[in-house]
Amino acid sequence: IQKRHREELKENRDRLNARKKRTHHLIVRGTIAESFIDNAEDMTDEEFREELEKALNYKETVIIDPVTD
């Protein structure tokens, strides 16, 4: 029983650490994205998305598949 409990605690710690790592990753990436958009902190999520798409030329971007091209 103790062994199983230790395994469960380790699994819980691993999940928590993975979630913390992902959260940190998203915060860092979001901060980088916001640095390219003026007044990003004052925008709604939808406004930010639209401005980010413009900044990245999202609709005009052609994705090249390196395997087939």
Which among 62, 63, 38 has a CA at the least distance from the CA of 52? 38
Contact 36, 55 (CB under 8 A): yes
Percent over 90 (pLDDT), the chain = 70
Question: Helix count (H) and strand count (E) of the chain?
Answer: 2, 0
67 or 32: which leads in pLDDT: 32
Contact criterion met (CB below 8 Å) for 40 and 34:
yes
pTM recorded for the entire structure: 0.64
